[in-house]
């Protein structure tokens, strides 16, 4: 198995169905961070549903339509990133993220997103990376801005969640706009948050 260093004590690794018990424990800790924006954690409330979530992404990986990765900090799963959608034929993909409180404030999400963007553009030849987030989710918006993404528009009152209808912002980055960042000290900012449409 491979791991990509994100910091001296943190790494990005594939998240697979056999890790469902660890993923479920993490989701129990992450609910407070994800549930205000999207019911990501509520899709994994017991071992069976946690395994199903990870199996769904394993199936997407096998069909080259999505993929999920975990972020481990000092050996503990604290968050992750994913290709919510991945369409190699068209050249478009969407990245989503999430984190528990222990994974915040260290730039791990931003560092992991940089890895996925770079993979999409430089290794897979994708044309466009998208980022969808609630207009109320300022931490998610900050990641998009940090990556140099452009706000394409806002889908007003696009989805109901927690008793309100959220506006959904659509951000994007084109391959011609991406310059591989200097990885030294890349993980100096932070945010956390949402797995849109995952």
Domain 4-177 has CATH 3.40.630.30: yes
Q: How many CA atoms lie less than 13 Å away from 157 in the CB half-sphere?
A: 3
84 has a pLDDT exceeding 60: yes
DSSP-derived 3-state class of residue 187: coil
pLDDT-derived band of residue 144, with 50, 70 and 90 as boundaries?
very high
Q: What is the pLDDT of residue 1?
A: 67
- What is the DSSP code string of 83-109? EEEEETTTTEEEEEEEE-GGG-SSSHH
pLDDT-derived band of residue 26, with 50, 70 and 90 as boundaries?
very high
Query: Where in the chain are the domains?
Result: 4-177
Q: What is the pLDDT of residue 181?
A: 55
Q: What is the pLDDT of residue 188?
A: 36
Q: How many CA atoms lie less than 13 Å away from 46 in the CB half-sphere?
A: 1
CA-closest candidate to residue 39, choices 163, 186, 167, 180? 163
Least confident of 43-47, 71-75, 177-181, 191-195: 191-195
Tokens of 172: 């994007």
Q: Which residues contact residue 100 at a Cβ distance below 8 angstroms, ignoring those fewer than 6 apart?
A: 26, 29, 30, 32, 33, 78, 79
Distance, in Å, from the CA atom of 77 to the CA atom of 70, rounded to the nearest integer, reads 7
- Mean pLDDT of all residues in 107-136: 96
- Mean pLDDT of all residues in 47-61: 97
Distance, in Å, from the CA atom of 80 to the CA atom of 113, rounded to the nearest integer, reads 9
150 has a pLDDT exceeding 70: yes
68 has a pLDDT exceeding 80: yes
pLDDT-derived band of residue 179, with 50, 70 and 90 as boundaries?
confident
Q: Which residues contact residue 145 at a Cβ distance below 8 angstroms, ignoring those fewer than 6 apart?
A: none
Q: Tokens 């791990």 map to which residue?
A: 108
Q: What is the mean pLDDT of the chain?
A: 90
Q: What is the pLDDT of residue 197?
A: 39
């Amino acid at each position: 198995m491979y791991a990509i260093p994100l910091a001296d004590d943190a790494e990005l690794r594939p998240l697979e169905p056999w890790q469902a018990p660890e993923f479920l424990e993490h989701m129990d800790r992450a609910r407070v961070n994800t549930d205000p924006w999207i019911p990501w954690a509520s899709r994994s409330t017991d071992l069976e549903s946690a395994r199903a979530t990870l199996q769904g992404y394993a199936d997407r990986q096998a069909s080259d339509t999505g993929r999920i990765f975990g972020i481990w900090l000092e050996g503990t799963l604290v968050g992750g990133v994913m290709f919510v959608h991945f369409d190699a034929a068209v050249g478009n993909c969407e990245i989503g993220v999430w984190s528990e409180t222990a994974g915040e404030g260290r730039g791990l999400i931003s560092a992991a997103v940089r890895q996925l963007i770079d993979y999409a553009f430089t290794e897979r030849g994708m044309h466009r990376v998208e980022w969808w987030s609630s207009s109320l989710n300022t931490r998610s918006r900050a990641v998009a801005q940090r990556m140099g993404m452009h706000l394409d528009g806002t889908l007003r009152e696009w989805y109901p969640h927690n008793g309100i209808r959220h506006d959904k912002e659509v951000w994007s980055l084109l391959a011609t706009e991406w310059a591989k960042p200097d990885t030294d000290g890349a993980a100096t900012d932070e945010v956390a948050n949402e797995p849109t449409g995952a």
